[in-house]
Structure 1
Amino acid sequence: MSGSTPGRLAGTFRGFPATFSAGGHHREACLVKPDLHIVGAGLTGLTAAIEAAERGWRVSVAEASSRPGGRGRTLAAPFRANAGPHAIYVDGSWWAWLERRGLTPPVAEAPRAAGLVRAGGRLGPWPDDPGRAIAALPAEAPAGESLRAWLLRHVEARTAEAIIGVAFIFTFDHDPGRLSAAFAQERLRRAFAGGVRYVIGGWSTLVGLLAERAAGLGAEIRTQARVPAPPAGPAILATSLATARQLTGDGSLTWPSARVATVDLGLRAGGGPDWFRVLDLDDRIYAARYSLADPSLAPPGHELVQISAACAPGERKADAERRVQHLLDQAWPGWRAAVRWRRSALRTHCTGAVDLPGTTWHDRPAVSRGHTLAVATDQSAAPGLLAEVGIAAAQLAVRHLEDRRVPAGLPSSGTRGVA
């Protein structure tokens, strides 16, 4: 992860507040040799840096890219696109953690604009039946049974497949019906509980808040700093699970995840449709006009639409993009002539863990990897939904190293944060 000048932040990062630069307090902290190294300055790594600095650790964070954020980075204007569809849940432990520290970003709720569903090849308004069926499902489901098998014991087959299609939104899997019923049902409950919000200005807003707090607590954040192996001494690898596997050579650092094609479009708004989001139950596609929730994401008179399409094993990016185009032809007639900017990608191992029947988050790769090493990712053995997993893993990683830093029975020294 290769090199800006050690001991300071590399200037102000584009897309971050102007105050996010090397300050006197931060520079003084860098004169002292760090006693905790964190690899990766995404949301997980920055959370670990804050947690550790609050407990009195002298922290150094190495980030391979030119600025912090990882998959939480947002493009600069004019179209401020996140790395695929993003939402934050205000009913979870991560939001509570942010609130206690005064780090909650400004957020918006989903607009009341229409939501459309494509099922059986036809596009129409969201039907009432799946929503009522989801609300009537038992609160808990078995981990040892697939979502499809469990649903078929409670609803008729057509409704079951509709619910499985909905589950794509928070699993990104090409067939959520194959996943653990417990895994999927926990996420169904959260998704329909009303806690979904959208970060104003894109997720770099939140990244900036976390990075500023970490630096303010004395953490050194080095960008363009590529690390070829785990640092000596106490260290947290807050990377993807695949990168942690490469750095450590530990083949057990693996867990199922999804493949998804993303298509981002900057469109001229004139004559466009009035929907906020479209869910394609047939082809496992989710599209949202994020600029309708947050107009700052696109220039005046334009819209930012971000789309994700599940990719089956072996499916090519081009094939997934054709499915997206077919959906847009129905949902936004004439969209091609309105395109002013576009971006597409095939994202692998970027959507968090998925648990298959017979497994739970406890079975994923452990955060603790020895006396002085921890691995914190969104596929680690930690609870939560999507990005919350990496945040919980970061907290577990710091506690793991703290337990080995302080002799049993003695209080930690230097703690200056909140729980």
Structure 2
Amino acid sequence: MKPDLHIVGAGLTGLTAAIEAAERGWRVTVAEAHSRPGGRARTLPAPYRANLGAHAIYVDGPWWAWLERRGLTPPIVAAPHQAGLVRAGGRLGPWPAELSQAIAALPAEAPAEESFRAWLLRHVDAKTAEAIVGVVFIFTFDHDPGRLSAAFVHQRLRRALAGGARYVTGGWSTLVDLLAERAAGLGARIHTRTRVSALPAGPTILATSLAAARRLTGDASLTWPSARMTTVDVGLRADGGPDWFRVIDVDHRIYAARYSLADPTLAPPGHELIQISAACAPGERKADAERRVRQLLDESWPGWRAAVQWYRSAVRTDCTGAIDLPGTTWHDRPAVGRGGGLTVATDQSAAPGLLAEVGISAAQLALQQLGETPRLAQAHVGV
């Protein structure tokens, strides 16, 4: 039987859409270009189970509630209590208590039309403002979050510091497997190694990157700013290294975390897995970003180079969600509904949420816009 609905992309967004569509009675086919589902939420096989995409899931968000209602919540762990290190103003040391106090004292609301930096400077001194801007890199991945909409940044800052971030045990693939199994159990057909080169006929959800949706549709309006960053993943012998869980370099926009300290299954016994993100300024080369990362590790983990067992690095462009510039909000991003039964559900679509939650919200909006399935509509006529 021909499917009622085509979904292109079997990442978290595409799998969520497949489950919701199948629950509503759609016959669903999902096309995934890679050899397995997951998109950017894939995890490498052992010995170092490094995630390809962002690492945390927010348990205070709407998608976690969606998972709970379906019994799909994966096993999770919170960040360990080991102290973290922060570089601010050229000094590497414990998290400054005064920085937390300054963030807590900020007004509850910020304007969308003003830049975050300009808004901060009306409330704190310049040094504190730049430190807060550096912290914001952690969840925007942008090289200069101070240039972004104050409302966009401030809403995410308050939520990120509220403590809702958790890590999926075994890496993102644990959750992907749960979603793929549920989708298949509901009748959705997931075809891996299937690269779509033309739009399918009939109702379609493009659950891809915005760039891929633009290529498939030829619609030049499918564009929105995102970030560019270099990721560095390191597997190394523990060798009695320091006990920090994370290092945040607010001066140079780097975030490093020992995810194996939270979840020992990510690395072999006696070994550690560190995953690092470094924002790339416009035109900055990958080699220069990696140099900044290595310098930070030299200071925070002396001797780490001799303990390295595995290393990889990559530049990732436009794969960390949307960023809103002053005067814009999520409402201004590319619309989910494109007409003619075509919908675009990406992390940069016109939908609310934090990071990957945007794509999930967009998928749910897409299904609302597509309306009833043909089978349900025919059943209603028969009645």
1:176 aligns with 2:145: yes
State the shift of 1:120 in Å: 2.6
Task: Choose which of 112, 117, 138 in structure 2 pairs with 1:143.
Answer: 112
* Residues 371, 404 of structure 1: 8 Å contact kept: no
Structure 2 counterpart of 1:91, from 60, 74, 82? 60
Structure 1 unaligned blocks of 5 or more: 1-31, 414-419
Aligned position for 1:8: none
CA contact (8 A) 2:25 2:375 kept: no
Query: Within 2, Cα distance between the matches of 1:368 and 1:228?
Result: 20
SS at match of 1:167: helix
The size of the alignment, in residue pairs, is 381
1:156 partnered with 2:134: no
1:359 to 328, 348, 351: 328
Unaligned runs of 5+ in 2: none
1:85 and 1:308 in contact (8 A); partners too = no
1:329 maps to 2:329: no
CA distance in 2, matches of 1:272, 1:85: 25
Q: TM-score w.r.t. structure 1 length?
A: 0.89
2:221 matched to 1:219?
Answer: no
What stretches of structure 1 move > 2 A for 4+ residues in a row?
403-408, 410-413
Residues 68 and 84 of structure 1: CA distance in aligned 2, closer, same or farther (over 3 Å)? closer
SS at match of 1:275: coil
1:404 Cα deviation (Å)?
Answer: 8.2
Q: Distance in 2 between matches of 1:120 and 1:148?
A: 17
Distance in structure 1 (CA, Å) of the matches to 2:247 and 2:380: 53
Q: Does 1:257 align with 2:226?
A: yes
What SS does the aligned partner of 1:262 have? Answer: strand
Q: Structure 2 counterpart of 1:252, which letter?
A: S
Conserved 8 A contact 2:42-2:53 = no
Q: Does 1:275 align with 2:244?
A: yes
Which residues of 2 match residues 11-410 of structure 1 at below 5 A?
32-402=1-371
Whole-Å separation in 2 of the counterparts to 1:194 and 1:135: 14
Q: Deviations over 1:373-407 (max 9, x none)?
A: 00000000000000100000111111111258699
Q: What is the identity, as a one-letter code, of the residue corresponding to 1:146? A: S
Q: CA RMSD in A?
A: 1.6
Q: Tell me the secondary structure at the aligned position of residue 369 of structure 1.
A: strand
**SS class of match (1:342):** strand
Per-residue CA deviations over 1:249-269 (Å, capped at 9, x if unaligned) read 000000000000000000100
Report the CA distance between 1:69 and its aligned residue: 0.1
How far off its partner does 1:122 sit? Answer: 2.0
In structure 2, the residue matched to 1:15 is none
Question: What amino acid is aligned across from residue 298 of structure 2 in structure 1?
Answer: D
The offset of 1:157, in angstroms, is 1.1
Alpha carbons of structure 1 residues 371 and 165: separation in structure 2 relative to 1, 3 Å: same
Percent identity over paired residues: 80
Q: CA deviation at 1:312?
A: 0.5
* Cα distance in structure 2, aligned partners of 1:92 and 1:310: 25
Asked if 2 retains the 8 angstrom alpha-carbon contact of 1:64 and 1:224, the reply is yes
Give, as a single letter, the amino acid of the residue that structure 2 aligns with 1:324. V
